[in-house]
Amino acid sequence: MRYTEGKMGRVFVIRLEDSDRLPEAIENFAKKESLQRGICIFVGGIKGGKIVVGPKDSKSSPIVPLMYVLENVHETAGVGTIFPDEEGNPKLHMHAAFGREGNTRTGCIRPGIEVANLGEVVILEIVESSAKRKMDEKAGFMVLEP
């Protein structure tokens, strides 16, 4: 286990509008507000998009993600973290549950998911922390480095 300590900073309450895209809208907001690290909660609807629903094989290196395409509008509840990448850009990592007609899919969001009607976001800023995302060549994606 590796860890670092931080403190709570600002709290943001955001209303996303119809067709705003995740994770871009949240990352752009974070950049505009000079928010580098935080906890992000999303509640609202999405129009569809791609999510990662697991690794194709848990033993492969690099990890090959299993993708799932969501079609139509889904009710969504998600939680994620924002940390800067190696260039200092805030990057959102969010997992969410997507429900429609009694069926639920859960996964890691991918760029291009569009908000349906509206989305509510609360971001709790973490300050006085040096945690960041770094590329892990073995895994094949960025990982949190406390």
Chunked into runs of 10 residues, the chain (146 residues) has average pLDDT values of 94 98 98 98 96 87 89 97 97 98 96 96 97 90 92
DSSP 8-state class, residue 79: E
Nearest to 97 by CA among 118, 80, 83: 80
pTM above threshold 0.85: yes
Q: How far apart are CA 105 and CA 142, in angstroms?
A: 23
Whether the CB-CB separation of 101 and 13 falls below 8 Å is answered with: no
Q: How far apart are CA 46 and CA 115, in angstroms?
A: 4
Confidence at residue 56, expressed as pLDDT on a 0 to 100 scale: 86
Whether the CB-CB separation of 42 and 49 falls below 8 Å is answered with: no
Whether the CB-CB separation of 67 and 50 falls below 8 Å is answered with: yes
Q: How far apart are CA 38 and CA 26, in angstroms?
A: 11
Q: How far apart are CA 6 and CA 112, in angstroms?
A: 31
Confidence at residue 62, expressed as pLDDT on a 0 to 100 scale: 83
Q: How far apart are CA 76 and CA 62, in angstroms?
A: 29
Nearest to 109 by CA among 88, 90, 94: 94
Asked whether the CA dihedral 26, 118, 94, 53 is positive or negative, the reply is negative
Confidence at residue 44, expressed as pLDDT on a 0 to 100 scale: 98
